[in-house]
Chains A and B, each alone.
Chain A
Amino acid sequence: MSDPREITRILFENFQPQAIYLFYAFGYAAIAVFLYGVYTQIRKYRRGQPDPSWGGLWSRFVDMAKTMLTHRTLKRRDRAAGSAHGMIFFGFVLLFIGTSTITLEYDILKPLTGVTFWYGNFYLWFSLVLDLAGLGVVAGLIYMMYRRKWLKLPKLDYTRPDRQPGDPDFDRSGYRREDWAFLWSFILIGITGFILEAARLVWLSDRPTVWDYRMWSPVGATLAHAMQGLGLTPEGASAMRGALWWFHGLLALTFIACIPYTKIKHIFTASASLMFRDPLAGRRLPKVPEEQESAGFKQITDLTWKQLLHLDACTKCGRCHEACPANAVGAPLSPRDVILSLREFANKALNAKELPEAAELDIHGKGVGQVFMETLWSCRTCLACVEICPVAVEHVPIIVQMRRKLVEDGDMEPILQKTLQNIHKSGNSFGESKRKRAAWTKELPFEIKDARKEPVDMVWFVGDYASFDPRNQKVSQAFARMLHNAGMDFGLLFEGEMNAGNDVRRVGEEGLYELLASSNIGTLQSCDFKTIVTTDPHSYNTIRNEYPDFGGQFEIQHYTSVVKQMIEDGRLKLKKKLDYRVTFHDPCHLGRYNKGFDAPREVLKMLGCELVEMGRNRDNSFCCGAGGGRIWIPDPVGVEKPSQNRMKEAGAIEGLQVFVVSCPKDLTMFEDALKTSGFEGKFVVRELIELIDECIEYEVWEEAGSEAA
């Protein structure tokens, strides 16, 4: 065996010193361009507002590393693309480490200390690993090209639902060109790298320290043999290497220089975005600081640095675009496009040395990069976008912040204005008298305690829909019977209860939300109780996640987990089993918002129902369209509503009998959609409570002659 020190990477062999200097000059230039780009990007982010997401940096880092190493978020709902990305990513990381170690030895350690390590077995193993890494990168890139060219995925169609054909940037073709430029240059770097390696092998085929170990670079060696087979001589290879070397090297340096200016920057921005992700994004919206003059986002500089970073992290993967219920029914909203519009806006306005004038920072309007009012009002704050984004872009807080500005300016549907005024005046969205809030209890054969007057174990926060909507009142009555029957010690706030404010907040009427929240918190704090229960996932979310910001720390449960517990404890006795074939719709605010996926399913199982899942279930549940205050704004006529879209999905289930929901708003939305989408008579929509109710026999009261059951 030859001296291991001889078995090493051929670096600048046969290069004129001038050529080497020239190469270094290019290298430094590339690094300078790169660094300048990084500087301007950081300057851009620093033009945003402060963000509270600092803190816990180490655990943030660990989370980010885990997400990146497992590629978990990238594989969701698109395994193939996730795996291909994994190959590119890990290949790239290995190649990067490999190249860095060469630099470490050649440019730092050797000149300074004389230490070298890049030879012998270390070198051989490294060349094998890097060879395979390169292969992974090329294979991954080929799949990406195939996917873009032939799979025709709707989510990769950049055409914008919020713009008309002919509008500037309607099809975002610039992005498409960038994608292809990226793929081609990257793959060319990979391929020329291999050919270069093969050429080097052919060129030095008479040098045993090179040729005898060629199989440690299997791809290069295979190519070398092929090239020899085609008649390439060592001299020819030498000449070829010279030319290719420069091509490969300059392309790679250009690539590096381009990172901060092109989509390649997602290497950094996506990682940082993941690192600063807010686990409660959208679930708990940001407060408006007391001293702040006007609420919400008007200018691009109103976004926080983290949000500006999110804009740059988006890789246009289209997962949010595909998941968005507004987009699915043709509303002028795609969460992806909101992010991209704002990104373009930020790049135009904030990359310059001087900030432009305030007027040119306005992100609302009809111009390029501005976001339409109709776009913002189309959002149902269902969180499907935030939940699926592989790089932790948080769309909903940005959308709501922008809506806050619209609300302040009164830019909203008159009917929504009316509803907000009603809520302000009467504390409920129905505009009913406060006194009527508990009117639904009158038909019950027992009295419900007033939690404001006596201590109870459990306060039931009923919510507007369950209190005032006649159809939902029936459900509330059934739940009351259930609690009473199970001997639970519970009470209501009666007219002390106000709209919980979840949707008011998501509309963007923060002042009204503050009023509602503090009023409810005050009322709750004056009561003596252990936990809160609610049948309304919207109230559940805001009390659980948002009231703490206003000083209201309460334990709250959605009824599904309470009922599950009651059945398990034997407090609630099921007298019969149901043999329905059912499907379950996860309410956004219970499921995606608060991970309450299992309790309702387990209850359904206990009832004996056969649960057939819809394609979009659990975290991918499809919003009924009522969220974000959209229940108060009628959907346009003549086009499909999200709820109808959902009905069609359920209708495809063979022999479906019951479409089960566990949210008052869902009941309203879907019972309506059942009729309008032509499934009436095929299956029914029921609240889970109603199914449970079927299984309980309230003999005692029936004997007493009541009609309660």
Chain B
Amino acid sequence: MAEIRYLAPRTLDEAVGAFAAAQGAARILAGGTDLLVQMRNGLAKPGLIVDIKKIAEMTEIAELPDGGFRIGAAVSGAMLAEHPRFGQVWPGVLEAVNLIGSKQVQGRASPGGNLCNASPAGDSVPAMIAAGAVVTVQGPEGRRQMPVEAVPAGPGRTNLRPGEIVVGFTLPPRPAGSGDAYLRMIPRTEMDIAVVGLGVSLTLAGGTVTHARVGLGAVAPTVLLVEEAGNALLGSRLEEAALDAAAAACRAACRPINDKRGTIAYRTKVAGVLLKRAVAIAAQRAQGGN
């Protein structure tokens, strides 16, 4: 194997500097649960590895004064699960992050890695999109923000510019009457990759939907924000007709491929089913159940 350099800088500036200077020969290392596997299989051959876990901002979970949350990109699923408040406010996002892999993988895998790996089937991404999360990105030209759904560009590709690192996710404050949920369909009971993944975030006022977002994974080259599905729910009281329309919007958004994990017909059908089920869970949470 060729020589690989390893850096674990303490500051973001150092990390960005080294990452940008390597001009594409470097890879960011968060939990490594994608990167190390890819290296072992010869799919990734970085000359430099920049480990971001020593940078404080990358591994912090902060509850913001306005009630929102800021999650460092390299926070592990296990850390997020242990946070006393996060799972109460964003149970759907937490579920999605905690579906990644097994206990062992949870100790390492991060939402930042899940997003930047840009798999169409990344589990945390649809939930983050539904949550309306925004990522903060830092690169040689400074900081910028972009919605989660703008990050993936295609299987294994992102819209990050050369040298840019995802610093963290900002989740908006939660009005009363809000709830979210994530469901995925996998052919076996554990340790599997989604055939369809679907996240929903809702706010209800007096039984009427005042805010709805739907994220849909594993059915297109990137995880999708399905605005039509959210719009179909908006203003409704989650009547059958609204649910049918939202499910139809999800099915229409599917642009899957036939492959070893599932056929087009199957993925499309399941997308509609998951929409209804995830909405039911999110609505129940919004109304104070869990």
A and B form one complex = no
Q: Residues of A with Cβ closer than 8 Å to B? A: none
